Amino acid sequence: MSMNLHAVRAIYRFEMARAWRTLMQSVISPVISTSLYFVVFGAAIGARIPEVDGVSYGAFIVPGLVMLSLLTQSISNASFGIYFPKFTGTIYELLSAPVSAFEIVLSYVGAAATKSVVLGLIILATAWLFVPLRIEHPVWMLLFLVLTAVTFSLFGFIIGIWADGFEKLQVVPLLIVTPLTFLGGSFYSIGMLPPFWQTVALFNPVVYLVSGFRWSFYGTADVHIALSLGMTFAFLAGSLAVVAWIFRTGYRLKT
């Protein structure tokens, strides 16, 4: 069976157009808030903190800040994208149309991931204005950027289907993902922690994402790059499995 590219392109373009309509919320707001992190942490606090693993503190926090925005925006874009058709009832037209589950996921998750990657690159460009950045492994950096965006857009898609109210869309990003990112080595190396807390930190999945992403910049990491990549693919596989189950069972789609 050939893929319905017309449907995929239509949904993708509709979702991308929504980003332009909400430009302030989608792009400008995250860039301003990230810039404030650079000013406060990079300039004010960074001046009083020595180098971390041979990298100035202002530059050290850049991968963590990009990852923080990437995770929250991927989840937010994808969850709202699929929740809104559920809320308005247009999801039933989509499910009855000649569009497969794969095509629906591809278009919604693809649009959310595209927006997140573009935002991540804009934040990187913004960071260049504040701190001296270097990217030792640009191909790996882009790979981690795209993999993380796709994985967490899938996770956001799952949240959008699970949520039965607008407030639930915010629960997981605010109460789980953001704290895990702050505690996942975004603003420090977990090697600075006491041994017990280093062990606890390794149970935080975001540590592997931030560490791998930071390695692509400076060649230093809290955990081995192969482990970071392996964990990222594990999250991706887990999210794909849940999405497949949702469409197989019709969970919160057909009721």
The whole-number mean pLDDT for each consecutive block of 10 residues of the chain, a chain of 255 residues, reads 86 90 80 84 75 87 93 94 91 89 95 95 89 92 97 97 90 90 92 93 95 96 95 97 94 79
Q: Is 90 a domain residue?
A: yes
Q: Is 255 a domain residue?
A: no
**What pLDDT, on a 0 to 100 scale, did the predictor assign at position 130?**
82
Q: How many domains does the chain have?
A: 1
Q: Is 82 a domain residue?
A: yes
**Residues shown for the chain:** 255
**What pLDDT, on a 0 to 100 scale, did the predictor assign at position 255?**
60
What kind and span of H or E run contains 8?
helix 5-21
For residues 18 and 112, the answer to whether their CB atoms sit within 8 Å is: no
Q: Which domain holds residue 38?
A: 5-249
Q: Is 31 a domain residue?
A: yes
Q: Is 47 a domain residue?
A: yes
Q: Is 209 a domain residue?
A: yes
Q: Is 254 a domain residue?
A: no
235 Cβ contact list (under 8 Å, min separation 6)? 151, 155, 205
Q: Can you say how many angstroms the Cα of residue 201 is from the centroid of all Cα atoms in its chain?
A: 19
Measured distance CA(102)–CA(30) in Å, rounded:
30
Q: Is 194 a domain residue?
A: yes
pTM metric for this prediction: 0.92
**What pLDDT, on a 0 to 100 scale, did the predictor assign at position 48?**
79
